[in-house]
Structure 1
């Protein structure tokens, strides 16, 4: 007898599609609804109780890097112990790092610093160049120093000369300047990235440099630079001085450690007070430059502590910059050739100046940085 072929259903070669449906597909919708699907490209939130995803950060993947102390006997102890003894950074290093952070404070717009002194030979131009170089080496924005001395200023000699152009040439071609690269053709730059805009070498042309000329130059520079330092002449009644005082955010009154230098610096403050700039005097910084260590007793040496106390009662801060053989040369300035004490003093000065920077408005949008303009 011939066998009857078995049907496909009897052979169970096909299954009922509804028999394999998961139970949650046919379950009633919960009262609170189903979880919303996140927008495309955004990760979905893990269900309650599920472990949180770990971020693939550098620290998570490689662990915390141990560097140990950066200098001094603490560094050698850390290395000699194979990293087992870590006493942390010394107070000196911590203070240095804090000063660097202060000097590199973010700055909105342009901040203008004017160097004043009624007496020549106190190192006003040197302080302008070294402070500007310190700022330029620490910060990521642009820093420029302007020579506004009508008596053939020497600021341009503190950096390698890259162009014979002066502030007069920049003003002559101002209408054609529309970017930072245009301005850069008129400046010279040192290793620290400090740029210098030179003055005229001809005294007759320099004397004709007016307050309006200075204002035009600063209005142009502040579009492309975050810090503008002005090396002023010794004449407080020169026409440029009125524009300098009107546009400056802070004044640095420079003095030497001698009696006549201190008296001249004090007389500068007296002149400012007498001409309605008492608010700028209170916010000013006194810089006692070229201080030599005292040896022995008496001998007619100036009591610098009394000099410091005198200016501390009138100014926001008083800083002393020690004598340095490299600065005495009067040539191009290289920060790495300065003594450590001199570099530390300049760093303290930069931090003191930066303490007067205006606070950033956290609520508003930040202004476009100077280095991005043009």
Structure 2
């Protein structure tokens, strides 16, 4: 090694970055940015919308459609007929929620099945409106048979309800009433040998107590419009059932009832009246019945035809709708649906404006 080499070596040794080892690659300086909050994790891709379940076709409840569904263990479901769908819609209308308390009057001359209609419609309302209490009230001054048609064990109780100021709770009121398996309660009349004659004051006091506990009251009125108790009952009616036989004389009496309502300024009640052509003996003529129905409809009245049903024999107990024929039950559901429509569309008013 020459003197020149020694000189260069000594010079590089004086350099702080000099290394006597083999040359190495210089590591670049890493600049660390200021600390930042960790970024949120990336979201998962959106899940596909769930497939809506296939609508289940309702099962038929009667006729050949039900027979096919039963015979094939449900593999073949022809679905309900249009009539079944219509009945289901009316039953849903009857069961729809209501606000307030409503009273239905039942009018008709003797022998047309007025009490039978009152009890039957009451059973339908009680069965389809399980969340409400429904009561039938005998307001016939001749002491009709409404109590014996619904609950033969029901004792007369007008005077007890009216005079006993200690009857406040529903349980206490119930001890003076009757009921049937439909859940329909009844306030029966009393025969003349037990107590005095029912008058408007006794009727008003007793029904005021019922109003605290019942959503719907069905009042079986007397056969004459000018009876004092009927007049009192009409003061706070919300709707009427006018029962007629399916013959011209019965229809004429029903028409007179409608004319009475118009003449006495009860136009709202007239509009909320339904005519029931009740075949109580099975002898009605279909053509005549149709003509009478058309005549009432031409006056813009709701009309329902109730067919003859041997299960609703005169004087028999009406315990529920199970003993009725399908056609009869459908007809009474239609009556109840018409009334429910009246209630849903009428304004909330006090008794004095009804």
Check whether the contact 1:272–1:281 (CA below 8 A) recurs between aligned residues: yes
Verify: 1:247 aligned to 2:233, yes or no.
no
2:313 to 311, 328, 345: 328
Does the CA contact (< 8 Å) of 1:199 and 1:206 recur in 2? no
Give 1:177's match in structure 2, choosing from 152, 167, 170. 167
Matches within 5 A, 1:114-263: 114-117=105-108, 119-140=109-130, 141-173=132-164, 175-202=165-192, 205=195, 207-210=197-200, 212-263=201-252
TM-score normalised to structure 2 length = 0.77
Q: 1:208 Cα shift?
A: 4.4
Q: Secondary structure at the match of 1:176?
A: coil
Q: TM-score, normalised by structure 1?
A: 0.73
Q: Secondary structure at the match of 2:252?
A: helix
Q: In 2, Cα distance between the equivalents of 1:281 and 1:64?
A: 42
The aligned residue for residue 267 of structure 2 is 278
After superposition, residues 307-326 of structure 1 pair within 5 angstroms as 307-326=292-311
- From 295, 303, 306, the equivalent of 2:288 is 303
User: How many angstroms does 1:217 deviate by?
Assistant: 2.5
Deviations 1:141-162 (A, max 9, x none): 1110000001021101112333
Aligned pairs, number: 309
Asked if 1:88 is matched to 2:97, the reply is no
Answer yes or no: is the 8 Å Cα contact 2:154–2:179 preserved in 1: no
How many angstroms apart in 2 are the aligned matches of 1:250 and 1:83?
43
Match of 1:345 among 323, 331, 335: 331
Name the CA shift for 1:165/1:309 in 2 (closer, same or farther; >3 Å). Answer: same
Q: Which runs of 5+ in 1 are unaligned?
A: 1-25, 35-45, 296-300, 362-374
SS of alignment partner, residue 114 of structure 1: strand
1:79 positional shift: 5.3
Offset at 1:49? 4.1
RMSD of aligned Cα (Å): 3.2
Provide, for residues 318-355 of structure 1, a one-character-per-residue CA deviation record: whole Å limited to 9, x for no partner.
11111121222412113222222111111111111111
SS of 1:337's partner is coil
Task: Say if 2:134 and 2:184, in contact at 8 Å, map to a contact too.
Answer: yes
**What is the CA deviation profile of residues 184-242 of structure 1, one whole-angstrom value per residue up to 9, with x for unaligned ones?**
111101111111101121179564411x3323223221211111000000121222222
Secondary structure at the aligned position of 1:107 is classed as: coil
Q: Is residue 2:37 matched to residue 1:28? A: yes
Q: Which consecutive residues of structure 2, in runs of 5 or more, have no partner in the other structure? A: 1-34, 348-354
Deviates more, 1:162-171 or 1:149-158: 162-171
Give me the whole-angstrom Cα distance separating, in 1, the residues matched to 2:193 and 2:263: 29
Q: Distance in 2 between matches of 1:256 and 1:68?
A: 36
Q: Which has the larger radius of gyration?
A: 2
Shift of 1:315: 5.0
**SS in structure 2 of the partner of residue 191 of structure 1:** coil
Deviations 1:155-182 (CA, angstroms, capped at 9, x unpaired): 0111233342321221111x21222111
- Equivalences for residues 72-111 of structure 1 within 5 A: 72-78=63-69, 83-111=74-102
Q: Is the 8 A contact 2:58 2:80 kept in 1?
A: no
Partners of 2:277 and 2:305 within 8 A in 1: yes
Q: How far apart, CA to CA, are the structure 1 residues paired with 2:302 and 2:79?
A: 31
Following the alignment from structure 2 to structure 1, what is the Cα–Cα distance between the partners of residues 270 and 346? 24
Matches within 5 A, 1:47-66: 48-49=43-44
